[in-house]
Amino acid sequence: MKKSLVGLLVASALCFGSAAHAADADFLKSLEGNWAGKGSVKVDADSSPINVNCKFASDTTASSMALDGSCTGLVVVSRDIGANIKTDGKSYTGTYIGSSTGPAGLSGKRSGNALNLGIRWASDVNGDRKAQLRLEKVGDNGMRLTTTDKDPATGKSVVISDINLRRL
């Protein structure tokens, strides 16, 4: 009896793990394609936002996503931005490219239609090396990228970037 209970528990764990991984695969697949949109970006926590126009291409597999693109603001300033993210069915990890400090580490989890990822900058930004990135699927053809960080002067969370994209 004990052996069959252990076997049942192991089989159940494997089934639930596969179901979670399948849900992640469907979620990632829904983010594949070409995207364009507008938003705002701050250089640091206490600066005024700059309006930006962005274009991205997203390639996905069942367990990963590569998001590559660029955002242009003030007509002449452009920055390449990207993220490479993978999942093991429980959590997400990866790298963000586009910060002036160099590549940044990403880690977090999916909650419904959003990835909530902690950012670990290569060096201090706004007084520390931590921030948050939320990549949210909005309807069938929308994606929203929001970065928040703490204002070193107040300790309050502020939106550093907010970009709304539509599938092309």
> Is residue 150 over pLDDT 60?
yes
Q: Which of 13, 16, 36, 33 is nearest to 24 (CA)?
A: 16
Checking if the pLDDT of 50 tops 80, the result is: yes
pLDDT of residue 19: 41
Assign 77 a pLDDT band (cuts: 50, 70, 90).
confident
**Quick one: average pLDDT of 6-33?**
61
Angle, vertex CA 17, rays to CA 14 and CA 20, nearest 5: 150
User: Is residue 144 scored above 50 in pLDDT?
Assistant: yes
Name which of 9-18, 61-70, 83-92, 138-147 the model is least confident about: 9-18
- State residue 74's pLDDT score: 82
Report pLDDT digits (tens) over 97-131: 988 899 999 999 999 999 999 999 999 999 999 99
Candidate CATH numbers 3.40.50.300, 2.40.128.20, 3.40.50.720, 2.120.10.30; the one for domain 2-167: 2.40.128.20
Q: Where are the domains of the chain?
A: 2-167
- CA 127 to each of CA 10, 57, 94, 150: distance values in angstroms, whole numbers, following the listed order: 46, 32, 23, 8
**What's the pLDDT at 107?**
98
pLDDT at 100: 87
Predicted TM-score (pTM) of this structure: 0.85
